[in-house]
Structure 1
């Protein structure tokens, strides 16, 4: 079972740095992600914008074009098959919503102040002792989790301890 974490940041750039850090840790097998999305509430117009990591429409189009070409070859019209397959794959991919529900992200992000951003992360598993200190350096405010209250409090305490340790290290080496 995966756990949801929503962390708010003061700006889009910090939220994107956190996303990039988590994706890097995913490649290092420190965390296993089901989904990660950066959501910003624009400063100009207050609208909520989702920055999805996976583009389902593009993925569907590529897969559809490949299968359309194969089927088109069977009927001696590979280009038509590829075109129809790409269109069908893109439509199917756009309709696919895996991971965190888009409507839920938009609704929760309406509470962000304009100019702020949040990272929505669906985590299968993680090496907490390595992941939490790496992410604590970015600050942020834990908005919501699917953890129990005890587990959430432990996570908050780990993040506070990591920030305090980083601050003490900076003061000594600074």
Structure 2
């Protein structure tokens, strides 16, 4: 079973820094991440999602390959590649991998403009090593599926020696 953790940071850059730190910890087998998305509330109020996988682009590349291959069979590889790219991009755009996009956008509506929320779907983790790695990095826990003890330990670790204040998100 996976756990969801959502942490709010004052900027997109800070959220990206922490996401990269989590990827480094994944290389050390401290954490296993299913998905990690950064949602940013822009000054206009629009929520932008910075996902790991661009499913539209991946679908277009895959579709181009298969379309060209099928096109070769019917002696028109360029037409096949074009049709395959279009079909692949469409299917990729309709695919939702990992954390539900609508859920992330809805939850991110509570952010202050300019703030970023780091959504992490965790398959497994070594709790004490992860807490040591994120200690003092700041951020406010917005939502988690962790048990109360682990959630409080995460809040305490993030808050240790925080130097930048983040406006608290409004509750939905």
| Match in the other structure for 1:20 | 20
**Within 5 A, what are the aligned runs for 1:141-160?**
141-157=140-156, 159=157
Q: Are residue 31 (structure 1) and residue 31 (structure 2) matched?
A: yes
Task: Using structure 2 for the length normalisation, give the TM-score.
Answer: 0.85
Alignment partner, residue 11 of structure 2: 11
How has the CA–CA distance of structure 1 residues 28 and 82 changed in structure 2, closer, same or farther, with 3 Å as cutoff? farther
Q: Alpha-carbon deviation of 1:84?
A: 0.9
- C-alpha contact (below 8 Å) 1:65/1:82 kept by paired residues: yes
For structure 2, the residue ranges without an aligned partner over 5 or more in a row are 163-172
Contact kept in structure 2, 1:69 and 1:78, CA below 8 Å: yes
Q: CA deviation at 1:27?
A: 3.2
Give unpaired runs (5+ residues) of structure 1.
Answer: 167-174
Cα drift, residue 103 of structure 1: 1.0
TM-score, normalized by length of structure 1? 0.85
Partner of 2:127: 128
Question: 1:119 is paired with a residue of what secondary structure?
Answer: strand
Instruction: Identify the match of residue 163 of structure 1 among 154, 160, 165.
Output: 160
Instruction: Name which of structure 1's ranges 77-86 and 124-133 shifts more when overlaid on structure 2.
Output: 124-133
Shift of 1:58: 0.6
Distance across 1 between alignment mates of 2:58 and 2:132 = 34
Cα offset, 1:26, TM superposition: 2.4
| 1:41–1:48 contact (8 Å) kept in structure 2 | yes
Q: RMSD in angstroms over aligned alpha carbons?
A: 2.1
CA distance in 2, matches of 1:29, 1:69: 39
More helix as a share of residues: 1
